């Protein structure tokens, strides 16, 4: 019953930290700024578990990336910004230098933005962080890949409009954005407002103060507004509390649409039967019957090398999201090796090239045993998002069921908004825009 | 008008939930003068242990008894290994040690029961009371009414315990004056052990109610933050103060969020409670029912 991993992981970390070099020759080092204890431990253990499982899978199945084994070390951040920076500083030069870093925290991401530029370490933020960092001309070392918050907000409006029978039916509808009162929760408001002007729906944003474990007044306001849909942009305990309070105030869960950080088993199980019918966005699919998950079980778990202590979580939303983190890391290194030498250890700068030239099309995803697992992705120097596609899933009381195809956001409108914001940032910071036409 | 009443009732019911957590603080402070920062962690430990035992297949009531036993063990161990060695140390030392105890309990709970959030179903559906909706268009949660009833019963039991039992009287004597109580033969350490065990029991009730409301997860430790303004307002040493403080804070924060919040962009209820408590502190530092301390100079 004792969760020994909680004790063993930091101990291993200490032992490894004491040794001079973590990664031996021909090992590509990946620092992991993980969190397995504290308030967000369930999220951290799921995602980092999936991330490590995929890297183990590549090492065990293929002997690494073209023979270069992946090596990693975890450093416990407890989702704390200062600890995240400390972990980054401790690990960035280990094993010949970090290939890339995935902080898995918007706060730590913001704290590292200036540092990764100096250290030349690409920072990948899948489904979090600042959206305008998708402009690679201004943020050359930051990669909010696959889908940003703005693309997600756009897809949510499109999803709702489709449910209602088209854009024209949105006129006069009421939409409430129930958000975590932080930069994260406020991030998509501009997109919802832009669409409110375009489609003619009434938009109200209601803030929930951290941590969000008491929301009766917010839901009383919602009951008074009588919205057609409520967007739930929550985090941690705020999510099950919102679902339960929706039930308490008689709001149908089918009309409650969550962000992907409100769309894991950890968000719905604590709310029990109240979660049935609740829908969320997602940028990858989940389930332990997926071919890639099955293969990881066969190659990694069958040999007792799996990272998840509770094997029933293998294939869960957070675990599969962790696998996506692994795919991005491995494929960026592989792409970099195509240019800079197969079988060689890549520097952060070379991996950045790999990221900017990554093209995970349907064929490549199929080759990775991951067809349909995540959206196709094509990166570039200017576009650090690469996809923008979003799916929707509904909790049926036992598991998540995918209920939509990949929804494409209005890329033109979003790109204009991104460039407006990023160029403003560049002006404030005195950043000269990269000329992507000169990048090879 | 119906909306105002609905908001007010919602606030009062939330306030009872806050008072439930505040009560654990009061019990320990009353008897030992220690501000137990670990009360939130005790709530988390109790709820996680209870759900964990239920998951092993233990029947509901047996799980309650076993968890209660675990809370008594934690309470007694805290007295024996944490507080007893620090007798006669400054208040700030005792406060700091409870901060350390918080981290220990949080880590221990996650080590034993894991970090996964869990559901807790105690058989009370969390839906609006139908006849209130139908007759007055007022939405009041059936679960919140149940939780408030449980809390009121708990308050009554504790009041009887303190007023009518021998141990209760001894507790009050210790609370009034440690040295005087010891001089007439009241065993201080035994009393502290009982108080910590009682606070563990209160934490269990609070953990079950909050856990059934929002799920059993680490965030239960944050319930302590909801109790702090209640304590400042009601007084650190008074059970009626905790109840009244809870009701006032609950009502004010909900009414403020709904009627004033939109002027500030919303999300004000967490700090409004502290502003109210601070303003009260300026006028009546000992709280509504707290004892006025007069020091000989």
For the stretch B66-123, pLDDT in tens is: 999 999 999 889 988 988 888 778 888 989 999 999 999 999 999 999 989 999 999 9
Task: Please list the pLDDT of chain A residue by residue as tens digits (440 residues).
Answer: 445 455 455 444 444 444 433 445 589 999 999 999 888 888 899 999 999 999 999 999 999 999 999 999 999 999 899 999 999 999 999 999 999 999 999 889 999 999 999 999 999 999 998 999 999 999 999 999 999 999 999 999 999 999 999 999 999 999 999 999 988 999 999 999 999 999 999 999 999 988 888 898 999 999 999 999 999 999 888 999 999 999 988 999 999 999 999 999 999 999 999 999 999 999 999 999 999 999 999 999 999 999 999 999 999 999 999 999 999 999 999 999 999 999 999 999 999 999 999 999 999 999 999 999 999 999 999 999 999 999 999 999 999 999 999 999 999 999 999 999 999 999 999 999 999 988 86
Q: Is residue A261 part of a domain?
A: yes
- Which of A41, A43, A217 is the best substitution to test chain B (most B C-beta atoms within 10 A)? A217
Return the number of CB contacts < 8 Å for A and B.
147
* Average pLDDT along chain B: 90
Q: Is residue A385 part of a domain?
A: no
Token pair of B78 as six digits: 């805290």
Q: Is residue A294 part of a domain?
A: yes
Q: What is the rounded average pLDDT of the residues B267-287?
A: 87
Q: Looking at CA atoms only, how far is residue B45 from chain A in angstroms?
A: 13
Q: What pLDDT was estimated at residue A2?
A: 43
Q: Is there a single domain that holds both residue A140 and residue A200? A: no
Q: Who among A209, A220, A244 is closest to B10 (CB)?
A: A220
Q: Is there a single domain that holds both residue A156 and residue A172? A: yes
Q: Is there a single domain that holds both residue A176 and residue A325? A: no
- What is the DSSP annotation of B214-262? H-BSGGGGGHHHHHHHHHHHH-TT-HHHHHHHHHHHHHHHHHIIIIIGG
A311 touches chain B (CB under 8 A): no
Find all residues with CB under 8 Å of A440, minimum gap 6, and list them.
none
Q: Is there a single domain that holds both residue A85 and residue A161? A: no
For B41, what's the count of Cα atoms within 13 Å in the CB-facing half-sphere?
19
Better-scored residue on pLDDT, B3 or A27: A27
Domains of chain B: 2-283 (1.10.3470)
Q: Looking at CA atoms only, how far is residue A161 from chain B in angstroms?
A: 27
Q: Looking at CA atoms only, how far is residue A11 from chain B in angstroms?
A: 14
Q: Is there a single domain that holds both residue A349 and residue A398? A: no
Burial of B295 (0-12, 13-18, 19+ CB in 10 A): exposed
CATH of the domain at A192: 3.40.50.2300
Whether A179 and A234 have beta carbons less than 8 Å apart is answered as: yes
Q: Is there a single domain that holds both residue A257 and residue A397? A: yes
Q: Nearest residue on chain B to A36, judged by CA atoms?
A: B115
Q: Is there a single domain that holds both residue A16 and residue A121? A: yes
- Give B-chain residues touching A205 at CB under 8 angstroms: 266
Please indicate whether, in this complex, the C-beta atoms of B215 and A270 are within 8 angstroms of each other.
Answer: yes
Please indicate whether, in this complex, the C-beta atoms of A270 and B269 are within 8 angstroms of each other.
Answer: no
- Give B-chain residues touching A270 at CB under 8 angstroms: 117-119, 214-217
- What is the DSSP annotation of B13-26? HHHHHHHHHHHHHH
Q: Is there a single domain that holds both residue A250 and residue A325? A: no
- Which of A7, A247, A248, A319 is the best substitution to test chain B (most B C-beta atoms within 10 A)? A248
Q: Is residue A80 part of a domain?
A: yes
- Answer yes or no: is pLDDT of B53 > 90: yes
Please indicate whether, in this complex, the C-beta atoms of A214 and B267 are within 8 angstroms of each other.
Answer: no
Q: Is there a single domain that holds both residue A118 and residue A237? A: no
Rounded Cα–Cα distance for residues A389 and A386 (Å): 9
Q: Is there a single domain that holds both residue A176 and residue A117? A: no
Please indicate whether, in this complex, the C-beta atoms of A214 and B265 are within 8 angstroms of each other.
Answer: no
A224 touches chain B (CB under 8 A): yes
Contacts by residues B174-177 (CB-CB < 8 Å, ≥ 24 positions apart): B174/B31, B174/B32, B175/B30, B175/B31, B175/B237
ipTM value for the complex: 0.86
3-state SS, residue A233: strand
A222 touches chain B (CB under 8 A): no
Burial of A216 (0-12, 13-18, 19+ CB in 10 A): buried
What's the length of chain A?
Answer: 440
Show the DSSP H helices in chain B as ranges.
2-32, 39-55, 60-77, 91-113, 130-136, 142-164, 166-176, 178-183, 188-214, 223-234, 239-255, 269-283
Neighbours of A422 (CB within 10 A): 22
Q: Is residue A301 part of a domain?
A: yes
Token pair of A117 as six digits: 């530029």
Q: Which one, of A293, A299, A233, lies nearest residue A262 by Cα?
A: A233
Q: Looking at CA atoms only, how far is residue B150 from chain A in angstroms?
A: 19
- Give A-chain residues touching B141 at CB under 8 angstroms: 216, 248-249
Please indicate whether, in this complex, the C-beta atoms of A221 and B258 are within 8 angstroms of each other.
Answer: yes
Count of domains forming chain A: 2
Better-scored residue on pLDDT, A229 or B222: A229
Please indicate whether, in this complex, the C-beta atoms of A205 and B266 are within 8 angstroms of each other.
Answer: yes
- Give B-chain residues touching A189 at CB under 8 angstroms: none
Q: Is residue A224 part of a domain?
A: yes
Q: Is there a single domain that holds both residue A115 and residue A242? A: no
Q: Is residue A55 part of a domain?
A: yes
Q: Who among A37, A214, A217 is closest to B7 (CB)?
A: A217
**Residue A208 belongs to domain spanning:** 152-282+392-409
Q: What pLDDT was estimated at residue A15?
A: 45
- Which of B9, B140, B219 is the best substitution to test chain A (most A C-beta atoms within 10 A)? B219
Please indicate whether, in this complex, the C-beta atoms of A2 and B126 are within 8 angstroms of each other.
Answer: no
Rounded Cα–Cα distance for residues A148 and A126 (Å): 8
Rounded Cα–Cα distance for residues A223 and A158 (Å): 24
- What is the DSSP annotation of A337-362? HHHH-TTSPPPHHHHHHHHHT-EE-H
Q: Is there a single domain that holds both residue A101 and residue A22? A: yes
Q: Is residue A387 part of a domain?
A: no
Better-scored residue on pLDDT, B287 or A383: A383
């Amino acid at each position: 019953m004792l969760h020994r991993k909680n004790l063993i992981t930091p101990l291993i970390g200490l032992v490894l930290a004491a040794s001079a070099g973590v990664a031996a020759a021909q090992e590509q080092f990946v620092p992991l700024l993980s969190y397995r204890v504290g308030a967000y431990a369930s999220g951290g253990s799921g995602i980092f578990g999936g991330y490590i499982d995929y890297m183990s899978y590549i090492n065990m199945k293929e002997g690494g990336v073209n023979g270069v084994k992946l090596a990693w070390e975890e450093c416990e951040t407890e989702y704390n910004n200062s600890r995240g920076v400390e972990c980054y500083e401790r690990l960035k030069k280990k094993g010949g230098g970090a290939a890339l870093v995935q902080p898995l925290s918007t706060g730590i991401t913001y704290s590292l933005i200036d540092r990764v530029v100096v250290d030349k370490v690409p920072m990948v933020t899948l489904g979090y962080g600042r959206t305008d960092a998708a402009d690679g001309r201004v943020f050359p070392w930051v990669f909010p890949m696959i889908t940003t918050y703005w693309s997600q907000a756009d897809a949510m409006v499109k999803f709702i409009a489709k449910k209602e029978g088209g854009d024209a039916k949105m006129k006069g509808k009421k939409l409430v954005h129930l958000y975590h009162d932080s930069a994260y929760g406020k991030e998509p408001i501009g997109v919802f407002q832009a669409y409110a002007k375009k489609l003619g729906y009434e938009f109200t944003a209601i803030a929930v103060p951290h941590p969000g474990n008491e929301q009766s007044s917010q839901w009383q306001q919602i009951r008074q507004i009588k919205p057609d849909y409520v967007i739930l942009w929550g985090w941690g305990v705020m999510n099950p509390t919102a679902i339960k309070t929706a039930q308490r105030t008689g709001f149908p869960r089918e009309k409650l649409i969550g962000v992907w950080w409100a769309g894991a088993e950890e968000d719905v199980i604590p709310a029990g039967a109240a979660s049935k019918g609740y829908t969320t966005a997602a940028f990858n699919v989940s389930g332990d019957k997926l071919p890639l998950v099955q293969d990881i079980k066969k190659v990694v778990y069958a040999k007792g090398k799996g990272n998840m202590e509770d094997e029933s979580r293998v294939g869960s939303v957070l675990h599969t999201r962790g696998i996506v983190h692994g795919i991005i890391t491995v494929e960026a290194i592989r792409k970099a090796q195509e240019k800079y030498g197969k079988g060689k250890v890549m520097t952060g700068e070379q991996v950045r090239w790999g990221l900017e030239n990554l093209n995970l099309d349907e064929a490549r995803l199929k080759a990775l045993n991951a067809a349909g697992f995540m959206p196709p992705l094509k990166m570039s120097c200017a576009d650090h998002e690469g996809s923008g596609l979003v799916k929707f899933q509904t909790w049926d009381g036992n598991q998540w069921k995918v209920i939509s195809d990949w929804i494409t956001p209005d890329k033109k409108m979003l790109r204009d908004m991104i460039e407006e914001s990023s160029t403003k940032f560049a002006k404030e910071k005195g950043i000269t825009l990269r000329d992507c036409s000169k990048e090879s | 008008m119906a909306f105002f009443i609905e908001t007010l009732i919602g606030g009062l019911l939330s306030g009872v939930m806050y008072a439930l957590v505040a009560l654990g603080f009061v019990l320990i402070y009353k008897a030992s003068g220690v501000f137990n920062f670990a009360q939130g962690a005790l709530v988390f430990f109790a709820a996680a242990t209870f759900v964990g035992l239920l998951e092993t297949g233990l029947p509901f009531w047996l799980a309650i008894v076993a968890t209660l036993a675990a809370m008594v063990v934690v309470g007694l161990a805290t007295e024996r290994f944490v507080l007893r060695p620090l007798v006669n140390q400054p208040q700030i030392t005792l406060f700091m040690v409870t901060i350390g105890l918080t981290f220990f309990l949080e880590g221990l709970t996650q080590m034993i029961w894991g970090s996964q959030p869990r559901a807790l179903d105690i058989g009370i559906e969390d839906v609006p009371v139908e006849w209130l909706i139908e007759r007055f268009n007022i939405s009041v949660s059936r679960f919140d009414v149940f939780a408030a009833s449980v809390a009121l019963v708990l308050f009554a039991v504790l009041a009887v315990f303190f007023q009518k039992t021998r141990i209760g009287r001894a507790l009050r004597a210790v609370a009034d004056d440690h040295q005087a109580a010891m001089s007439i033969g009241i065993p201080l350490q035994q009393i502290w052990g009982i108080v910590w065990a009682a606070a563990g029991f209160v934490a269990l009730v609070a953990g079950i109610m909050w856990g059934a409301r929002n799920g059993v997860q680490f965030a239960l430790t944050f319930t302590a933050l909801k109790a702090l303004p209640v304590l400042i307002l009601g007084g650190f040493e008074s059970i009626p103060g905790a109840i009244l403080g809870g009701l006032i804070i609950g009502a004010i924060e909900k009414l403020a969020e709904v009627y004033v919040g939109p002027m500030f962009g919303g999300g004000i209820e967490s700090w409004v409670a502290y502003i109210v408590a601070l303003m009260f502190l300026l006028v009546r530092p000992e709280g509504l029912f707290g004892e006025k301390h007069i020091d000989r100079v």
